[in-house]
Every structure is written in structure tokens, then in C-alpha cells.
Amino acid sequence: MTSVLNVDSIAAKDGTSPVALTKQSANQAFVRFNGTSTLSVNKSLNHSSVTDNGTGNYSPQFSSNFNDANSAVTCSKKNQSSNASFGINNASIAASNFNMQLYENNAAVDSDTVSAKTTGDLA
């Protein structure tokens, strides 16, 4: 028998906290940050910090680890110059963090708008 749940909203017991998602195909973590000058996180879910490893190289850390290193990470950045070719390298993915490297015209570059989202099973 198929079940249907129709609701207007779902809230945590305390009425203010986000509802934890487990075992769904949903983003379990996201982060948006300014990677220029002094790195600053604009908004995040399930990220404790972002480490600046050098020009265009960042390592976001998860607050709650994933089950393993087989999660899917999608990254994006704002071009810093017009008509630039750009690339993002997910250099490594672990259960507790991942590393991303940003490029424009084949050179490492910082960006003022960097985003990443991660989907997978939390530990």
C-alpha cells in the first residue's frame, strides 16, 4: 500500500532548528564563501570551517562526517575576469572534508563567490 504525507511544513521539536535529513537523496552539506583576502563563509550547512590552503585552493571541513569518501561534491565559482576559461578540480574527497582548486586561464585564482554542495550518506 502506498502512503502519502501532505504537509505545509516540517519543524524540529524545538520549533527553530533545521530538520536533520538522513538517508535521503538530498544535499547533506553546502557552503558558500568569499575566497579573496580574508576568507569568510557567507552561509553553510554541515560545515565547521573552510581552510585556505593558498591561491585558489580550499578545504571545507564537515561538522558531521559522511559515511565514507564516496559522496558526490559539486563546486562552482564566479569568474574573476571576463571571458576567462575556468576549471575546478576536486583534488580529494574524504569522509570529513574535501579539497577544491580553482583555475582561470590555466592559473590558480581566488574567487569572491565559491560554492559547494555534497550529497551522500552521513555517518
Per-residue pLDDT of the chain (123 residues; tens, 9 = 90+): 788 878 777 777 887 777 776 655 567 899 999 999 899 999 999 999 999 999 999 999 999 999 999 988 988 888 877 777 766 776 689 999 999 998 888 888 999 999 999 988 888
Q: Structure pTM?
A: 0.76
Which set of grid coordinates corresponds to residue 22? 538522513
Single-letter amino acid, residue 87:
G
Instruction: Look at residue 87 in the predicted model and tell me its pLDDT.
Output: 67
Residue 46 zone, left/alpha/beta (φ > 0; ψ -120 to 50; rest): left
Spatial distance between the Cα atoms of 20 and 28, rounded to a whole number of angstroms: 9
Nearest by Cα to 56 from 92, 4, 2, 108: 108
Q: What residues pair up with 98 in beta bridges, in sequence order? A: 93
